[in-house]
Amino acid sequence: MLFVAKVDGAEQNIPNSSFIGAEYQLIAARLDDLQKTLTDIKLAMKEERATTEGKLPDELNLLQHAIFDKLTTLQNQSNKMVIEQIANTTAEQSRKEIQKLASKEDLALFKVDPGLYFRSISTRSCKEETSNRTGEFLIQPIQNDEPFLGYCEQTAFGGGWLVFQYRYDGSVDFYRNWTEYRDGFGSMDGEFWLGLEHLHRLTSSRKHELLVELTDFDGNYKYARYDEFAIGSEEEQYPLEKLGSYTGTAGDSLYDHEGLQFSTKDQDNAYWDHATEWKGGWWFVILKNVDSRNVTV
């Protein structure tokens, strides 16, 4: 048998046939080993691929469930937020509409039974009114109290003030009797007196301050502020029960009024008939030094 190999364009004769046979057997054995190794590798790859393909659907399934659960949670949270927003908006809108429609006459509709609470449409005080808006609001200082219409001033000295007397042009007659000063009179669209009974209920439920603001017709402004203020009950003749320390620019004209009872033209508690003389009700002393006809508090 002649094997011819061509190297660099030349022919070579391989004369030893026994040597060639031994080499052939060695090469054949090595090819068998390589074939077996290749078969094992292919088999291993096939098994690994089958295992991977088997795991992949499970992993995809788990991922799908995880995504679905997350979306469900987000949807529930979104629905809850929307519901809460609608509920809050509805309550706030209802409260504002009721307050907008309320007036002294309308409050007859709000006569309450013991236990009835108007917190959803009223506020305990002007300081707790969340809108921080100056205007009319229903005030209910404590539970079981009948709510009343009050005017909140939210600009002066940080806001949170309930106006109980407002006078500026003399359009409302303040020469009134005891019952009118007890229950209140006038209109919050103009001049008014809130009412002694409201003041008593308010100031007896928690600590209050007093702010008196005075402005003359030339625009000159002065004020008096007291860090405590309380009015007694009707049985006590609505005395100026507490009057704290004074600060301001108007002068401490109320310094000797603390403890005095309220007087009107038909209920003189000052023993000098000052209500008739000054044409209005007040906590009078013998020497009158505050004219309630021109005071806004």
Residue 248 pairs with which residues in a beta bridge? 224
Q: Could you write out the three-class secondary structure of the chain?
A: CCCEEEECCEEEECCCHHHHHHHHHHHHHHHHHHHHHHHHHHHHHHHHHHHHHHHHHHHHHHHHHHHHHHHHHHHHHHHHHHHHHHHHHHHHHHHHHHHHHCCCCHHHHHCCCCCCCCCCCCECCHHHCCCCCCEEEEECCCCCCCCEEEEEECCHHHCCEEECEECCCCCCCCCCCHHHHHHCEECCCCCEECCHHHHHHHHHHCCCCEEEEEECCCCCEEEEEECCEEECCHHHCCCEEEECCEEECCCCCCCCCCCCCCEECCECCCCCCHHHHHCCCECCCCCCCCCHHHCEC
pLDDT for residue 182: 97
Closest CA to 212 of 169, 153, 261, 150: 153
What per-residue confidence (pLDDT) applies to 131? Answer: 85
Distance (Å, rounded) from C-alpha 270 to C-alpha 240? 13
Residue 77 backbone phi and psi in degrees, to 5: -65, -40
* CATH number of this structure's domain 164-278, picked from the four choices 3.90.215.10, 3.30.460.10, 3.40.50.2300, 3.40.50.1240: 3.90.215.10
Residue 128, Cβ density class (10 Å: 0-12 exposed, 13-18 middle, ≥19 buried): exposed
Bridge partners (DSSP) listed for residue 138: 149
What is the pLDDT tens value at each position of the chain, 297 positions in all?
A: 323 232 334 344 434 444 445 555 666 666 666 666 666 666 666 666 666 555 555 666 666 666 656 655 665 665 566 556 655 555 555 555 555 554 444 444 444 443 444 445 678 899 988 888 999 988 888 877 888 999 999 999 999 999 999 999 999 999 999 999 999 999 999 999 999 999 999 999 899 999 999 999 999 999 999 999 999 999 999 999 999 999 999 999 998 899 999 999 999 988 777 888 888 999 987 544 444 444 444
CA–CA gap between residue 17 and residue 48 (Å, rounded): 47
Question: What's residue 291's pLDDT?
Answer: 45
Q: What is the reported pLDDT for 15? A: 44
Q: Tell me if 230 sits within 8 A of 242, measured CB to CB.
A: yes
How far apart, in whole angstroms, are the C-alpha atoms of residue 159 and residue 194?
18
Q: How far apart are CA 124 and CA 118, in angstroms?
A: 10
> Is the Cβ–Cβ distance between 132 and 159 less than 8 Å?
yes
The pLDDT value given to residue 69 = 63
Q: What is the pLDDT of residue 7?
A: 30
One-letter amino acid for residue 167 of the chain = R
Output the pLDDT for position 11: 40
